[in-house]
Structure 1
Amino acid sequence: MYLVLIAWFYVTLMMAVAEATSAQGTVLGAIITFALYGLLPMAIVAYILGTPARKRAIRAREQAQAASGADPDAGGHAPAGSEQGAVAPVRKEP
């Protein structure tokens, strides 16, 4: 994964240098070339190629949580329930 990103970084860096040193090129053009041909595609490729590693990390975290028995809903109580007797019931008199 990293080899592809390093190679693409090198190619886009050389494109930006050629743009900046060209007689008709500008430094602004070199920056835009590097950002749009280099940084943006590299970020997308790194995100896509990193998906399996993220899934493994999530799965490992879930397995560690299940093994420790630290289930947040294991108490048997309502998660956001009111305390007993805090609100008086309102009803009609018989």
Structure 2
Amino acid sequence: MRTIFKYELDRPFTRLDLPRGSKVLNVDLQHGHPYAWVMHEREALSGGHRADVEVMIAPTGGDMPTEYGDYVSTYFEHGGMYVWHAFVRYLGARNE
């Protein structure tokens, strides 16, 4: 069975410790703070197989590494005054 959890993010980078096989579905603001909504297999939450995932949030017109991961979403802040773009990079899996 799958479930979706949210994780608060920092700009510009956040490294998340997630169950292996997790998928970042969306990044957006909630109550003025950026969050990632991530889908997990419920059984994986209690397992020891973990993976590091980096989320990068870049402003429109801002510099960002060319090798940085996959596009996830765009969101607006302060009535559209600021436009942010979220990218995710799935790093290596770990066994704990």
Q: TM-score range by the shorter chain?
A: under 0.3
| TM-score, normalising length: structure 2 | 0.22
Structure with the larger RCO, 1 or 2 (CA within 8 Å, 6+ apart): 2
| TM-score, normalising length: structure 1 | 0.22
Higher Rg of the two aligned structures: 1
